[in-house]
Structure formats: C-alpha cells, structure tokens
Amino acid sequence: SAVISQKPSRDICQRGTSLTIQCQVDSQVTMMFWYRQQPGQSLTLIATANQGSEATYESGFVIDKFPISRPNLTFSTLTVSNMSPEDSSIYLCSVGQGGTQPQHFGDGTRLSIL
Amino acid sequence: GESVGLHLPTLSVQEGDNSIINCAYSNSASDYFIWYKQESGKGPQFIIDIRSNMDKRQGQRVTVLLNKTVKHLSLQIAATQPGDSAVYFCAATRGAGGTSYGKLTFGQGTILTVHP
C-alpha cells in the first residue's frame, strides 16, 4: 500500500492562529480525504480533496475554516484557520483509488490549541 | 445518510481467546465495508474488507462476516494476542459511484484489551 506522510505530527498552537497540515503520498492516488478524530472518538470526514478543483466539504465543515489544496496526485494540504480550543483533534489524511479498494491513512497530526 | 455503530464499546479478553467485534450500519446502499485497527498514536490500519456480494471473508487470523439482511457485520479475531490490543473501527461506503463514492462512514470504535 501507499506510504503516507503527514507533517507536522503534532503541534501546540495559540487560539486565533492558523496551521497548515501537509499530506504526501509516495505514489499517485485517485482520491485523497481529510478526517478529524476528536479525543476518544471516531473519525469524521471533513472533505474530499479534488485534484485541480475545489474540495468537496461535508456537512458542518466549510472552506473558510478548513481550506484544502491538492495541486497534484501525490500531495494535499489542510489548513485549520482561526483556531479555537474546540479544534483540538487529530487530523488524518487518507488516500485511495476509489471503488472497492481500501483507503489507507497517515498517522495523523495531533493538534492542541491553548 | 449513513450511520455506522458498534454494539460494544469495550471488549476485554484473555490471550488465546477468540474475539468478536460487532458493527451495524444504516444505509442499505452501502456496498463496501472495511475494518481498521488503530493503535495509540497511529492512524487507522487496514485489516480486512468485504464487498456486499460476499457473506464472509477470511484473512490471517481474522474473519469478517456480513449480514445484509440485518445490516450487520462482525470482525472475528482468532487466538487473540496482546499485540491485538487496539481500537477497532468498521467503516462503510459506496464503491459503486454516486455522491457518496469513496467516502467512509466510521463506527464508534471498540477498544479491545487482551490480557496475557
């Protein structure tokens, strides 16, 4: 399966600031997704990162808060904007080829906002 | 929309026992299901998957059963080992296209603890 690298692996940020998380894959993939995992909880899909076009956001998530880029088939970024303590979570990138092929995940970015 | 839930949030077993983790899903249009294992500090790791045209699929020490009639799937782990201790998630999606194509809906997660 693809090797997925996320940076940073963790960060502590001040409220009101923004952080950009990077996801790099070692091979071209059709689909890239961003998930949030709040402490002790399951994963929730934030958005689908579409190569060459605007990301598709799930209900409850908006582009102004979570802008996403996907300039090519191996790289995507998620920015968490104007952070508040409620944004403290693990943010995970996943990749897949679509259809009935499993998605694979990076190890996530552990974000704490003070 | 889709919701996927688990019957038991925690499971504690002895080493060598067989473990069964259950999951229910709500969207009958889901046609592809995946089990993931998540260890502390790591992202979810793929264990096994099953398509809706199958009832059972076996891997190494793991078996997934799918009952489409009652929208239920389970993960069976044979001869559970301490290294199997982790959180296990089921996830469902539509693999056949449409607006939900590729999007995973995750269950709550079951914490499996294996005692030596």
pLDDT in tens, B47-70: 999 999 999 999 999 999 999 999
Say if residue A16's pLDDT is above 70: yes
**Residue contact A104–B46, C-beta within 8 A:** yes
**Residue contact A105–B44, C-beta within 8 A:** yes
Say if residue B35's pLDDT is above 60: yes
**Average pLDDT of B96-109?**
79
How big is the CA angle at B50 (ends B62 and B29), to the nearest 5 degrees?
145
The band of A3, judged by pLDDT with boundaries at 50, 70 and 90, is: very high
Q: How far is B89 from chain A (nearest CA, A)?
A: 8
**Residue contact A100–B89, C-beta within 8 A:** no
**Residue contact B42–A94, C-beta within 8 A:** no
**Rg for chain B (alpha carbons), in Å?**
14
Say if residue A39's pLDDT is above 80: yes
In the Cβ-directed half-sphere of B72, how many Cα atoms lie within 13 Å?
9
Say if residue A60's pLDDT is above 90: yes
**Average pLDDT of B7-16?**
85
The band of A2, judged by pLDDT with boundaries at 50, 70 and 90, is: confident
Q: Which residues in chain B are closer than 8 Å to A43, comparing Cβ atoms?
A: 44, 89, 104, 106
Q: How far is A97 from chain B (nearest CA, A)?
A: 9
Say if residue A31's pLDDT is above 50: yes
d(CA A51, CA A84): 29
pLDDT given at position A50: 86
Q: Which of residues 11-70 of A touch B (CB under 8 A)?
A: 31, 33, 41-45, 48, 58
